Structure 1
Amino acid sequence: MPSVIVLDPLAQEGLDLLDAAEGITYEVRTGLKGDDLREAVSQFDGAICRSGVKLTSDVLTGKSKLKAVVRAGVGTDNIDKDAATKAGVVVMNTPAGNTISTAEHAIALMLAMSRSIAPAYQSLIEGRWDRKAFMGAQVAGKTLGIVGLGRIGLAVAARAKALEMDLIGYDPFMSAERAKQLGIELVENVADMLPRVDYLTVHTPLTEETRNLISTEQIEVMKPGARLINCARGGIYDEAALAEGLKAGKIAGVALDVYPDEPCTDSPLFGMPGVVCTPHLGASTEEAQTQVAVEAVELLTAYLSTGAIRCAVNVPSLDPQTLASLRSYLDLAHRLGRLAAGLDPSGLTKCQLTYRGELAERDTKVLTSAFAVGLLEDAMPESLNLVNAESLLRDRGIELVEAKNSHQGAFRSAIGVELASAGSSHTMTGAILGADMPRLVEIDGYRLESFLDGFLLLFKHKDVPGIIGSVGTTLGDAGVNIAQMAVGREAQGGEAVAVLNIDGEPPQSAVDAVLAHEAITKAKVVRLPAAGTLPSWLG
C-alpha cells in the first residue's frame, strides 16, 4: 500500500483528500531536519512539501523507497532536482494554484504605494491627522509596464486593465497578435518601455539575464516619478540602485514582496519614503494555500495509483527504451532551441521543425518538446521539461509545427528549424556526427559545420579578406580565445556568415568593436550548454 509523508503544514482540504484516497496511507511530520528528515523521507513512497523543508542531495540519495515529491506551490528551489532525478524521484509542482493571489498582491502593493497607505495609517497610530502629507497618485490613465507575460503577468494585466490603466508588455515568447487581443502593447525589449511607463512590474524567473534587470543605468532613462513593483523573485531589481534613485528623486516609489536573500529584515529600502514592503506574501492567502494543497494531493495520488505524471519538473514522460534510442537527437533539438532563443526571439509567431531522413519515420513529438524546452527555459518562471514546454509555448500565441521529409540528403538524419517573427526570420539545421556529436550544419541558408556547445559568436559579413583576422584580434584584445571556427558563404566575395566557438563570453565592448567593422552587418553572442552536458530531464 503506497504511503505519503506531509513535510510542511498543508491546508485541511488537502488532508481531507488524502483521507479519502483509497489504498493510500499518510502521516504528517513537520519541522524535520538533518538525519530525522532523511530517515523519515526514506520510509515513504511519496512526499508533499511547501517551502519550509529543504530536500537536499543528502536527503534524497541513499537507500530509500521514495518515488515522488510534490511541491505545493510553484518554486522548487528547496528541492535538489538533479539529486532527485539521479535517485529516480519524480518532482512535481502546482504552477497554477497561486496565480491569482500573487497577481492580486502585486496590484495591492501598487495601490498601497500610490496612496501611501502604510505611512498614513502609521501617522494615525502615532496620534497625527496629517492629510496634506500623504497626497497620492491615481492609477487610472497611467501606463503599466509588465515584464513577463506568463500566468501571473497576464493576471496582473487583466486586473490593471479593469483599473483603466494602459498596458505595455515585454515577453520574447508572446506574439504581437496575442498581445493585441489582450489589450497589451508589445515592445521588443525592456529598454523600449522604460521611458514610457508610470509603473513597472516584473513576473519572470531570476536568471543571469534578469538579475539586476533594473539598475542605475535603467533608472536613468525611466520617466521621472515612475514606481516599481516586484512580487516575482528577489534580485531582479538592484535594491541599492533603487534606494539611490529614490534619494535623487528619479523614481517616486518602490514596492517589494521578494528579496535576494530571505528571510530579509534589513534592506536599504526599508523605512524610505515612497516604499512599501511585505515579507513574501504573494501566495499567502487561504484560497491559494487550499488550491495548491488540493492540486498537490491530486498529483501525488494519481502518480502513486496509476503512474500518471503531470506538472513534472525533472523527468520526461518517456519510456527508457525510447529515451535511449533518441538521446543524441533530444540533445540536438534542445541545443537548437537554445540557439533559436539566443538569436532574436522577440515577436516570435511560428516555429516549424522539419525532421529529415530516418528521423522522419519516428515519433518526433518528444524531439519537438525538447526544442521547446531549449527555446523557453531561460525566459520562464515555471520549471520546464518535455511535459509542459509545448503548451507554455502555445499559451504565448506561438505556433509550433512539425513536418517530415524521409529524404536523407547529406546526413542520415537532420532537424531543420524555421523561425518566423513580425520583422525577421531565421533557419537552421542540426545533425549528429558520429554517435553523439551535435553540429550546426546550416544557418540562414549558409552551409557550414559548427560545434553546438559553449559560447558562440555568430556574425554576418561581406566575404572579403581579413575579416576573421580582425575579429580574432578584437577577441584577443579582450582576452577571449577562439576554440573553433566555421564559415559559410554564398559565393566568393558575396555575403557570408561565421560561427566562432569561443572560450568565454566577450564583453559588450568587444561585440561592439566587431559590429563596427565596415564589412560586418550583424553580430550576436549565444550561450549553449557545454559539450557533453545534458539537461537534467535527459541525463
Structure 2
Amino acid sequence: MSTLTEPFRVLVAEKIADTGVDMLREQFDVDLGTDWSRADLLERIGSYHGILIRSATKLDAEVIDRADKLRVVGRAGVGVDNVDVAAASKRGIIVANAPEANTVAAAEHTVALMLALARNIPQAHASLTSGKWERSKFGGTEVEGKTLGVLGFGRIGQLVAIRARAFGMRVVAFDPFVSAERFREIGAEKAETSDEVLAAADFLTLHLPKTPETQGFINSATLAKAKDGVRIINVARGPLVVDEDLKDAIDSGKVAGAALDVFAQEPITDHPLFGYPNVVVTPHLGASTAEAQDRAGVQTAEQVVAALTGGVVSTAVNIPAISAEDSAVLGPFVPLALRLGRIAAALAEQGVERVEVEHLGRIAERDTRFLTLSVLMGLFAGRTEEEVNLVNAPTLAEERGIAVSERRETKSRDYADLIRVTLVKGDDRVRVVGTTLGQLHRPHLLEAWGQRFNLQIDDPHLTLFRYSDVPGMVGRVGGCLGEHGINISAAAVGRQEDGARTDLAVMAVTTDVRVPDDVVTQIAGFDGFVSGRSLSLD
C-alpha cells in the first residue's frame, strides 16, 4: 500500500456553515465547488478523498465510479437518497449524514404552526397589513388544557410532546415501538391504538415515516374517528394526508383547521386548501433554521474529519460492524435477520419493550452483533421518522426505551444454525425463528405465532393467518386470494409446538404481490379465523 505524502483533498460541493468549512481547512486542502455542473463534478471528482454535499448533488454510480481516491461522503442532512450507498459501499467509501441536525427545528416548527393555527396569527397579520382592523374576527382558542395527539413518537414527536407539556397540554401518543417507561419520562399517555389518539385529540400532529401503510393515513375513514373540531398539523411528510378528504372534512366542519408544512407534490403553489381562512401553510420550512443548517454542516464536517483521520464515524450509514472474516460467514444470514425483525414487528400487537435475539449453532462462534443490528433494522424499518441503518439502530432502540439483549449458544437442535427473535412487552411475548438452507442460504421461517413450520421466505411478501384448527381452512385462504388475482408462491401450515395442545393453527404464504389489507381483513373475518397479517419483507 502506498503512503499518502500530500494532504487529503476535500470538496465542499454545496454551501454549508462557515464553521464546518473552517474545521475541514484546519486539516485538509479544501475546494469549494458550489457552482460546479455535473460535468465538472464527473471530470474532477477523481482527485478528492472526501466530498461534502447537501441534497442537490447526485452521487450516483457513475460519479462514484470516477471517484478513484474517495474515502468518505458527507451528506449535510438527514437522508442519503441522493447517494448510491450500495455503489459507495462496494468501493469501500464511507457514507455519513447528520440525522439529528433538524430535529429541534422540526419540533419547534410544529409547535409554532399549532399556536399559529390556534390563534389565527397569519390571517390576522394579513388582515391588519392590508389595512383592516378586524379584532373580533380572529378570536382563537387556548392550547392549555387541550389534548395534543401525537402519531409517531420518535425523536421529533418526543420533542414536540415535551414542549406541549410546557404549555399545560395533555399529550396522548401512539407508537408501539416506544416503551411505556419512555412515555412516563416525558409525561405523555401511551395509547394502545391510533384510534385512541384520534378520538382524544383536540390538536393532532403527525410524525410518521412514509410507508405503504402510512401513506394516506389521514383520510375520510380516520377523520371520521377524530373528535369534532380537531385541528391537524403535518410537518412530517405530505403523502400522509389525502388532501381531498381533509378538504371535505374542513368544509363539513369536522376538522376546525389545519397547518401544513409538507405536501404530496413539492414545490407547489396551487393546492385545494390554499386560501382557506382556517388553514395555515408554509413551504417545507421544518428544517429551515440557521441553527439547523449550521448544525448539519458542522456535524457532517466532523464526520468527514473522523473518517479521514481514523476517528469514529458515529453517523455512518454503511460501515461494517464486524471483521471481514466474520462478515463473510455471517453475511448470508443478514437477509434472514432483517426479515425476522420485520415479521416480529408485524406480529407484535401490543408493542415492544425488550428485544431478545438468540444466535444458535455455528454462527454463535462469530461476532453476531452484526446480525442483531440487522434484526433491529428490520424491526424499525418503516416505523421511525429516521432512516434506520446498522449504525443508528441501537440508538433508535435506546431513544424509545427498548432494551436489547443478545445470547449465543453454539449448539442448535434440528438445524445447524438458528436465529430466534423475541419481542417482549409485559407478559406478552412474540417469537419468530428462522434459518438458512442450501448452498444459496435461502432464508426460511420456522416458527411464528407459537406454531412451527418451514417456509422459504425469499419472495418479497408474506401473509400469515391464525385460525381454528379444523379441515377446509387452507382452501378458504387460497380460494379468496385466487378471487383477488393473487398467486401464492409457497405456503406452509403451522404444527403444534413441542406436542402442546392448541386449538389454533397458523398458515403462512408468500406471494409476488402484497396482499392488500382489505383482503387480509376479509379472510380474517371468516368464521373460525382469529387474525391475519400481511407485510413486505424487502
TM-score range, shorter chain: over 0.9
Structure 2 residue 367 is the aligned partner of structure 1 residue 358: no
Which residue of the partner structure matches residue 442 of structure 2? 437
Which residue of the partner structure matches residue 475 of structure 1? 481
Deviates more, 1:112-121 or 1:264-273: 264-273
Q: Write the distance in 2 (CA, Å) between the matches of 1:460 and 1:130.
A: 61
Structure 2 residue 411 is the aligned partner of structure 1 residue 407: yes
Deviates more, 1:79-88 or 1:461-470: 79-88
SS in 2 for 1:370: helix
Deviates more, 1:298-307 or 1:314-323: 314-323
1:328-355 deviation digits (Å, cap 9, x = unpaired) = 1222111111111222354211111111
SS in 1 for 2:125: helix
1:19-38 equivalence runs, <5 A: 19-21=25-27, 24-38=28-42
Which residue of the partner structure matches residue 81 of structure 1? 85
Q: Write the distance in 2 (CA, Å) between the matches of 1:63 and 1:93.
A: 19
1:372-387 equivalence runs, <5 A: 372-387=376-391
Q: CA RMSD in A?
A: 2.0
1:196-345 equivalence runs, <5 A: 196-306=200-310, 308-344=312-348
Using the TM superposition, give the Cα deviation of residue 518 of structure 1 relative to its aligned residue in structure 2, in angstroms. 2.5
Count, aligned residues: 527
1:283-328 deviation digits (Å, cap 9, x = unpaired) = 2222222222211111001101116332122343334332221111
TM-score when scaled to structure 2? 0.93
TM-score when scaled to structure 1? 0.93
Given residue 25 of structure 2, which amino acid in structure 1 is its aligned partner?
D
Q: Write the distance in 2 (CA, Å) between the matches of 1:340 and 1:423.
A: 16
Given residue 520 of structure 1, which amino acid in structure 2 is its aligned partner?
F
1:30-69 equivalence runs, <5 A: 30-62=34-66, 64-69=68-73
SS in 1 for 2:356: strand
Q: Is the 8 A contact 2:466 2:504 kept in 1?
A: yes
1:249-299 deviation digits (Å, cap 9, x = unpaired) = 221111112222222222222111111111222222222222222111110
Deviates more, 1:187-196 or 1:312-321: 312-321
Using the TM superposition, give the Cα deviation of residue 101 of structure 1 relative to its aligned residue in structure 2, in angstroms. 1.6
Structure 1 residues 496 and 44: CA distance shift in structure 2, 3 A: same
SS in 2 for 1:265: coil
Q: Is the 8 A contact 1:352 1:401 kept in 2?
A: yes
Given residue 323 of structure 1, which amino acid in structure 2 is its aligned partner?
S
Which residue of the partner structure matches residue 524 of structure 2? 515
Structure 1 residues 508 and 345: CA distance shift in structure 2, 3 A: closer
Using the TM superposition, give the Cα deviation of residue 63 of structure 1 relative to its aligned residue in structure 2, in angstroms. 5.0
Q: Is the 8 A contact 2:150 2:197 kept in 1?
A: no
SS in 2 for 1:194: helix
Structure 1 residues 508 and 261: CA distance shift in structure 2, 3 A: closer
Structure 1 residues 234 and 66: CA distance shift in structure 2, 3 A: farther
Q: Write the distance in 2 (CA, Å) between the matches of 1:227 and 1:361.
A: 55
Name structure 1 gaps, 5 residues minimum. Answer: 530-539
Which residue of the partner structure matches residue 3 of structure 2? none
Q: Is the 8 A contact 1:176 1:347 kept in 2?
A: no
Structure 2 residue 170 is the aligned partner of structure 1 residue 166: yes
Q: Is the 8 A contact 2:10 2:31 kept in 1?
A: yes
Using the TM superposition, give the Cα deviation of residue 26 of structure 1 relative to its aligned residue in structure 2, in angstroms. 0.6
Which residue of the partner structure matches residue 186 of structure 1? 190
1:390-401 equivalence runs, <5 A: 390-401=394-405
Q: Write the distance in 2 (CA, Å) between the matches of 1:355 and 1:489.
A: 23
Given residue 205 of structure 2, which amino acid in structure 1 is its aligned partner?
T
1:491-510 deviation digits (Å, cap 9, x = unpaired) = 69943222122232233343
Structure 1 residues 87 and 208: CA distance shift in structure 2, 3 A: farther
Which residue of the partner structure matches residue 455 of structure 2? 450
1:65-107 deviation digits (Å, cap 9, x = unpaired) = 2222111121323333344334443221111222212111111
Q: Is the 8 A contact 2:143 2:167 kept in 1?
A: yes
Given residue 79 of structure 1, which amino acid in structure 2 is its aligned partner?
V
Structure 2 residue 98 is the aligned partner of structure 1 residue 98: no
Structure 2 residue 20 is the aligned partner of structure 1 residue 14: yes
Q: Write the distance in 1 (CA, Å) between the matches of 2:45 and 2:217.
A: 39
Structure 1 residues 334 and 508: CA distance shift in structure 2, 3 A: closer
SS in 2 for 1:465: coil
Q: Write the distance in 2 (CA, Å) between the matches of 1:508 and 1:303.
A: 45
Structure 2 residue 533 is the aligned partner of structure 1 residue 527: no
Name structure 2 gaps, 5 residues minimum. Answer: 1-6
Aligned residue among 2, 8, 14 for 2:8: 2
Using the TM superposition, give the Cα deviation of residue 424 of structure 1 relative to its aligned residue in structure 2, in angstroms. 3.0
SS in 2 for 1:235: helix
Aligned residue among 122, 133, 136 for 2:140: 136
Q: Is the 8 A contact 1:464 1:493 kept in 2?
A: no
Using the TM superposition, give the Cα deviation of residue 18 of structure 1 relative to its aligned residue in structure 2, in angstroms. 1.7
Q: Write the distance in 2 (CA, Å) between the matches of 1:255 and 1:523.
A: 36
Q: Is the 8 A contact 1:5 1:44 kept in 2?
A: yes
SS in 1 for 2:478: helix
Q: Write the distance in 1 (CA, Å) between the matches of 2:525 and 2:29.
A: 67
Deviates more, 1:338-347 or 1:154-163: 338-347
Q: Is the 8 A contact 1:462 1:493 kept in 2?
A: no
Structure 1 residues 493 and 141: CA distance shift in structure 2, 3 A: closer
Deviates more, 1:12-21 or 1:269-278: 12-21
Q: Is the 8 A contact 1:343 1:526 kept in 2?
A: no
SS in 2 for 1:402: strand
Identity among equivalent positions (%) equals 40
Q: Write the distance in 2 (CA, Å) between the matches of 1:151 and 1:158.
A: 11
Q: Write the distance in 1 (CA, Å) between the matches of 2:137 and 2:61.
A: 53
Q: Is the 8 A contact 1:428 1:442 kept in 2?
A: yes
